[in-house]
Structure 1
Amino acid sequence: MRAVVLHAYGPAENLTYETVDDPVPAAGEVRIGVKAAGVHLIETLLRTGVTIGPPVPELPAVFGGEVAGVVDAVGPGVDESWIGRGVVTGTSRPGGYAELSVASVDALHVVPEGLGFEEAVAMIVTGTTTMALIDLGAPTADDVVLVNSAAGGIGRLLVRHARDIGAEVVGAAGGPAKVATVQGRAVDYDVPGWSSQVGEVTLVFDGVGGTRGREAFSLLAPGGRHIVYGNASREETDGPTPEEVKAKDITSIYAIERILAWPGGRRELEERALAQAASGRLTPEVQTFPLAEAAAAHAALESRATTGKVVLIP
């Protein structure tokens, strides 16, 4: 099969498109003919050898756990009725940047009727994270919500949900092109003084961090909620201090820590995310790249030139 392989940590161009052996499903596993594979920002850091959450992979490595496709083989002990079924999973091996991938049958979800493979793979991790953020932030129609990184995969879903429940929403993104993709009221946080266009808010979802994240925090009204889920800026600026949080009676949550220890695990979140997409209540925006251009996808993601969820198509 063809796959994208990393042989040495470093820049995006270290990802090479080459021929490797087909994976073989072990007991309790299926093999998936990949139709869509998700790309995660964390993978761009792991590619450089930087540890952030997950450990760096042993080399050579094929990245990508998020896969949607059609089962073409099963391992020992797995019902053959899985063959030919459209499935999605967030935990595949050796990785999703390939034409074939393997996953445990226990980690599979059948792709809901009416949902495409690209949308399904966008929801299996990005969507489940969004479900958790919604639970943690608990937005209501009475809130004024600021979504930082609003043109990203998670940000777009958060804006859509907050608007649908009747909240007042401001989406902040970087540059005119990205701002134009945000539904409803939007501001450009690359423009100095951007926060003066927003005013006081009661809930911040921050996926960008750095100085923009600090500025977003400063807009919170006393008693507000501050939900941090990423640092797309890659700036090392410190977040709000405990004293700052206490002074304004803010509830400040670093969501990834909570999600990793989610009660009952991630499966319930995954099911909810797929159901939301299948019903049309939350439709993910997807930006696709051919599998052979995975290096270009990484470079675009690192330079913050993408919108929505980045997906590779074999």
Structure 2
Amino acid sequence: MHAIRQYEFGPPGTLRYEETPDPRPGEGQVGIAVRACGVHLVDTMLRRGSYEGPFARPELPMTPGREVAGVVDELGAGVEEDWLGRRVVVHLGMASGGYAERAVAGVADLHALPDELDHDAAVAMVGTGRMTVGILDIARPAPEDVVLVTAAAGGIGTMLVQAARGLGATVVGLAGGAAKVARVRGAGAEIAADYTTPDWADRVRDALGGRGITLVLDGVGGQAGQAAFDLLAPGGRLVVFGWSGGEPIRFTSADLLGRSLSASVALGPGLLRRPGGLRALQERALAEAAAGRLTPAVQTFALRDAAAAHAALETRATAGKVVLVP
């Protein structure tokens, strides 16, 4: 089979498209003919060797990739025959061999795909979708909210816009550049602003006509996230789920007390401790997509172009969930 291999930490060019031996399923495992594999911002941190989190840095050489969807075509010992030929999606864990034409996973970790979901959408929902559902659980947007979503053209941001609009909330979406702003409007945001322009916050205030932002969902941080935080009206809520802009929003308890704000983090233990854990979030995310309530935006690259996909993701040149197709 072909797979992406990495022998040293560094820039996107360290990802190599090579022929490798097929992985074989062991007891309780299945072999999967991969039809789509997900790419996440964390993958770029793992590639650089700059990941700092609850899990150990992966050992080299490795095949990156945490999420795959495909067809079960080989069974390990002890696996029931009815899994053979089924379309499945699975989250493999950190840097666990997803960027490949074939993958191996434990049968207990599999989700059988409903007919309504294609492989690209399933891969988006099992990782990015579960995060979206977890964020919504913590944020609890309501019809009366005015919700500001940063990076609203991204994989998570697009679905947060959809979910908030589905509840009847007023949605403000931020994105970088005219093309992404148009995508945000297409996802349902009443107000869409280009955060690369210096006066975007003033334009949002004018567009709201005196209404205040009551909920900020921020995965960007940096200057854009900070300006979004400053727009929060007294009594508003902030939910942080990342800082792709380089650093998280900076605020103090005095900032919260002075404006009666609340702040929550939808990362790590904040998600892991949800009832049912990550698997329950995955199941709910897949069900939301199958029912048409959440529709993931997907941008695909060929598997051999994984380095280009990483480069595009790191420079914010992508829209939606990035997916590799073998």
Give 1:59-78 correspondences, 5 Å limit: 59-78=60-79
Instruction: Give the match for residue 246 of structure 1.
Output: 257
**C-alpha separation in 1, matches of 2:90 and 2:52:** 22
Q: Separation in 1 of the partners of 2:309 and 2:57?
A: 19
Question: Matches of residues 167-182 of structure 1 in structure 2 within 5 Å?
Answer: 167-182=169-184
| Deviation readout 1:5-49 (Å, 9 max, x if unpaired) | 111100001100001111111111111110000000011011011
Counterpart position of 2:235: 223
How is 1:1-314 mapped onto 2 (pairs within 5 angstroms)?
Answer: 1-53=1-53, 54-91=55-92, 94-183=96-185, 184=189, 185-199=191-205, 200-234=212-246, 236=247, 239-257=250-268, 258-314=270-326
In 2, are the aligned partners of 1:148 and 1:207 still within 8 Å (CA)? yes
d(CA) in 2 for partners of 1:143, 1:189: 21
Deviation string for 1:269-296 (max 9, x for gaps)? 1111111111111110100000000000
- Give the conservation status (yes or no) of the 8 Å contact 1:89–1:109: yes
AA aligned to 2:65 is: G
Residue 129 of structure 1 aligns with an amino acid whose one-letter code is M
Deviations 1:188-225 (A, max 9, x none): 11111211122320000001111111111111111111
Aligned residues: 313
Q: How large is the RMSD of aligned CA atoms in angstroms?
A: 1.3
Q: Distance in 1 between matches of 2:316 and 2:4?
A: 21
Residues 1:122 and 1:43: Cα distance change in structure 2 (over 3 Å)? same
**Deviations 1:92-125, CA, capped at 9 Å, x for gaps:** 6741100000111111100112210000000001
Give 2:208's aligned residue.
none
Partner-residue secondary structure (3-state), 2:26 = coil
Partner in structure 1 of residue 209 of structure 2: none
Task: Give distance in 2, aligned partners of 1:21 and 1:94.
Answer: 15
Gaps of 5+ in 1: none
TM-score between both structures, scaled by the size of structure 2 = 0.93
1:71 partner letter: V
The TM-score normalised by the length of structure 1 is 0.97
**CA–CA distance in structure 2, aligned partners of residues 124 and 228 of structure 1:** 20
Say if 2:229 and 2:238, in contact at 8 Å, map to a contact too: yes
Could you tell me which amino acid in structure 2 is paired with residue 89 of structure 1? V
The list of structure 1 runs, each at least 4 consecutive aligned residues, that deviate by more than 3 angstroms after superposition, is: none
Q: Give the Cα separation in 2 of the matches to 1:28 and 1:186.
A: 48
Task: Structure 2: state its 5+ residue gaps.
Answer: 206-211
Shift in Å, 1:238: 5.0
CA contact (8 A) 1:4 1:292 kept: yes
- Determine the C-alpha separation between the residues in 2 that align with 1:149 and 1:119: 19
Identity in percent: 52
Greater mean alpha carbon deviation, residues 293-302 or residues 87-96: 87-96
